[in-house]
Amino acid sequence: MADADLLIEEVSAYLKPQDVEYVREAIAFSHTAHQGQTRQSGDPYVSHPLAVARILTTLHLDAQAIIAALLHDVVEDTEVTTERVAGKFGKPVAELVDGLSKLDRIQFETREDAQAENFRKMLLAMARDVRVILIKLADRLHNMRTLESMARDKCERIARETMEIYAPIANRLGLNDIYRELQDLSFKYLHPNRYTVLAKALKVARGNRREVVNKILDAIRQRLAEFNIQADVTGREKNIYSIYKKMQSKSLAFAEVLDIYGFRVLVNDFASCYVALGALHGLYKPIPGKFKDYIAIPKVNGYQSLHTTLFGPFGTPIEIQIRTHEMHKIADAGVASHWLYKSGHASISDLHKKTHQWLQELLESLSQSSDSSEFLEHLKVDLFPDEVYVFTPKGKILSLPRGATAVDFAYSVHTDIGNHCIAVNVNHELVPLRTELRNGDRVEIVTAPHAKPNPAWLAYVTTSKARSHIRHFLKTMQSGESAQFGERLLNQALHALGVKPQDMDEAHWNKLLRDTGVKTRQEILADIGLGRRLNMVVARQLASIGETVSNEAAASTAITIQGTEGMAVQFAKCCRPIPGDPIIGVLKSGQGLMVHTRDCPTLHKGRGGEQWLDVVWDKDIHRPFDVGIKLLVANQRGVLAKVAAAIAEAESNIENVNFTNEGECTALHFTLEVNNRLHLANIMRSLRKIPEVIRIIR
């Protein structure tokens, strides 16, 4: 067990002898628990926890964390219980292991639900003890390093989750090396061909540009020496994914990405950072707009550094980072510097407190998410890496995601400020609440006691805190204006059915509440007022309970579909109805009204307990609808361009396109935006004029 010997050697370098013995016991315990188990690659399973523990030794994590890493899968994958772990290695280790164990014993309806609950549990444990996420990141890093033995679809799923969740968490915690490696490994499995091509190109460039890099390094060192600045100067190669993102965002070929190397200058004190900056700006000309001062305004993960880009020799742009050795410790290890550098330095302690505060705020906003997709959306939004820095009227700096609006700012100050904001002054000027904030803006929120969140805010807020509090407010608003408005709409629908609202007594309402599973009449009325339920559907349900409306009267009152009902009315993906199609509505419990075409094959495959309702299109609809068409075309060059041009000339947008080979022909599958059936007919007429088009099917 070479890995076990290496681990003991590594922990012996910084742990007490007694703690090293505990680690030795944990290695033996893990080996026994995983006896006979193998990984997908065929390696003994115990090799994985050993590798995870070794990753953590580079951060100098304490004995409890190392032992938890060695045992992180024993509760999940073996017969060992949390209680047994607590009895042998102590309660803190058991709590770490429990925080890392998935919720496999609970059955979830979807993979997304399971994923959301696992993240929720991990974040709760992480808020109590940040070591949970450090172990989890090491676990994910080793899994990504050994992912090639997995099936392709599973590789892609794990890589996407890593890119969207784990890499941003590593970035948010300041674990720069882990963040970059997770990005590169995710990119490798999400886009294997692009990764291979770039890796080869980078290897070639490494040799070709070595002379230029050495020349720049010598020039920087000589310049700093002239100013009597003691500094360590190093060159660093950018990671493959960051090069790819630059190529993608600026539409560059690899040969056009000149700054694949960056340079780092480490100085002894705060003042020397700015002196070094001035010296280097005298050596090479700075590129305007490419200077960032993260020392005066640190990033939310505690990162501090000066960033500047200069015109180097041969016109090569040079990216330079200037920071102190103390700043470099935090830039390199982030929150893990708490263990790696036991100096008790104020900036390290402050970072630890800020991380804990961020976790508490994140959990507060995520706790208000009602379903898994909403939870994961909030989590991803909160981990969005780019920030803007704005000022409160008292000069306090707040960090917000790029694209954040005045409403996001209001909620970041305090929930009550967000709930009652009515206007905003940015740099002493009154601007709309949806205004995106920029670096350096001074923001002052104007509030009113009786103001309430506006549902329209959800269209432009970016932070999870703002979004969750707005949604929470709207979901709990079951009385007042929304219920009153809902009652008016319901009465209107009952009158249309020839029913008097006062005839709908307590018995009718109690039966309706039992059938729908809703607790109160107020909730149903509020749902109608907020557009979550259709007034005509509720009126029909009420009226049919007492049979106070005849079948003829009910049949004569079809529900009018306008296309703007929001979530209350959905259009079936199987048949994609559009205005002009004969349609029918299917009412399913808890899912609202689903509109199908009357000849939809899926609709007639089998009826469960759902209710079918007559629906008709409103005569005045002004919104586009998605429709799917399939074109069989001859395999000739330029045919896709001709088809796209014809669709554009017919004033339609292409939402999606893919193709399949069908013998000598190609099938093009389009999702188009159309206004109605007549508009679709015009598009199909234009497409039939193309000689290569053999057949069109909706």
Which of 156, 172, 190 is the endpoint of a domain? 190
Residue 552, pLDDT > 50, answer no
For residue 74, the model assigns a pLDDT of 87
Same domain, 180 and 200: no
Query: Can you tell me the distance from the alpha carbon of 537 to that of 545, in angstroms, rounded to the nearest whole number?
Result: 13
Q: How large is the average pLDDT for residues 484-498?
A: 76
Lowest model confidence (mean pLDDT) among 48-52, 264-268, 485-489: 485-489
Give me the mean pLDDT over the 381-407 stretch. 76
> Is position 501 within any domain?
no
SS3 169: helix
pLDDT band at 37 (very low <50, low <70, confident <90, very high): confident
Is 168 in the same domain as 63?
yes
499 in a domain, yes or no?
no
Say if residue 304 is in the same domain as residue 361: no
Looking at 158, 175, 190, which one is the last position of a domain?
Answer: 190
**Edge-to-edge strand order for the sheet containing 653-662?**
653-662, 665-674, 625-634, 693-697
Give the CATH number for residue 430.
3.10.20.30
Maximal CA-CA distance, the chain: 98
527 pLDDT higher than 80 = no
Residues 273 and 366 occupy one common structural domain: no
* 537 and 600 in a common domain: yes
- Mean pLDDT within 643-666: 86
Q: pLDDT per residue over 618-637, tens digit each?
A: 888 878 898 999 999 988 88
**Is 136's pLDDT higher than 70?**
yes
pLDDT of 34 strictly over 90: no
Task: Indicate which residues carry an active-site annotation.
Answer: 76-77
Q: Which range of residues forms the domain containing residue 581?
A: 509-617
pLDDT tens across 441-473, in order? 889 999 888 788 887 888 888 887 888 888 778
Q: Indicate the length of the chain as a whole number.
A: 698
Same domain, 246 and 323: yes
Considering the domain boundaries, does residue 488 fall inside one?
A: no
Token pair listed for 675: 């206004």
113 domain-assigned: yes
Q: Tell me, what's the pLDDT at 116?
A: 64
Lowest-confidence pick of 188-192, 217-221, 339-343, 389-393:
339-343
Q: What is the mean pLDDT of residues 299-326?
A: 83
336/174 Cα distance (integer angstroms)? 8
Give the residue-averaged pLDDT of 97-103: 72
Lowest mean pLDDT among 92-106, 378-392, 427-441, 608-622: 378-392
Percentage of the chain beyond pLDDT 70 is: 79
Q: Is residue 486 part of a domain?
A: no
pLDDT at 517: 78
The count of other CB atoms within 10 Å of the CB of residue 660 is 10
Over residues 173-192, mean pLDDT = 89
Q: CB count, 10 Å around CB of 230?
A: 11
Within a domain: 258: yes
Q: Is 127's pLDDT higher than 90?
A: no
CATH number of the domain that residue 664 is part of: 3.30.70.260
The mean pLDDT of the chain is: 80
Determine, yes or no, domain membership for 578.
Answer: yes
The tally of domains found in the chain comes to: 5
Q: What is the pLDDT of residues 191-219, one digit of tens each?
A: 999 999 888 888 877 766 777 788 889 99
Q: What is the dihedral of CA 463, 465, 467, 470, to 10 degrees?
A: -150
Give per-residue pLDDT as tens, 42-92.
888 889 999 999 998 888 888 999 999 999 888 888 888 888 888 888 998
| Sign of the dihedral through C-alpha 61, 65, 67, 69 | negative
Listed residue (571, 609, 577) closest to 593, CA to CA: 571
Residue 155: CATH number of its domain: 1.10.3210.10
Lowest-confidence region among 34-38, 242-246, 258-262, 437-441: 258-262
Residues 276-301: what's their mean pLDDT?
86
Same-domain check for residues 227 and 304: yes
104, pLDDT greater than 50: no
Give domain status of residue 38, yes or no: yes
Of 190, 219, 241, the one marking the end of a domain is 190
DSSP H helices in 229-383: 240-250, 270-283, 325-333, 337-340, 346-366, 372-382
Is residue 331 located within the same domain as residue 432? no
For position 568, what pLDDT does the model report? 58
pLDDT above 80 (res 361): no
- Residues 593 and 675 placed together within one structural domain of the fold: no
Helix then strand then coil, % of the chain, to nearest 5: 55, 15, 30
Q: Clarify whether residues 8 and 136 are in a common domain.
A: yes
- Quick one: what percent of the chain has pLDDT higher than 90? 19
Judge whether residue 330 has pLDDT over 80. Answer: no
SS3 500: coil
pTM of the model: 0.56
Between the alpha carbon of residue 661 and those of residues 263, 627, 635, the distances in Å are 50, 22, 9
- What average pLDDT does the segment 532-547 reach? 75
Same domain, 460 and 517: no
Are residues 574 and 547 in contact, defined by beta-carbon separation less than 8 angstroms?
no
Residue 225 main-chain phi, psi, to 5 deg: -65, -35
The predicted model gives 593-597 an average pLDDT of: 84
Q: Which pLDDT score, from 0 to 100, does residue 102 have?
A: 59
Contacts of 485 (CB under 8 A, 6+ apart): 528, 529
For position 309, which CATH number holds?
3.30.460.10
Same domain, 390 and 464: yes
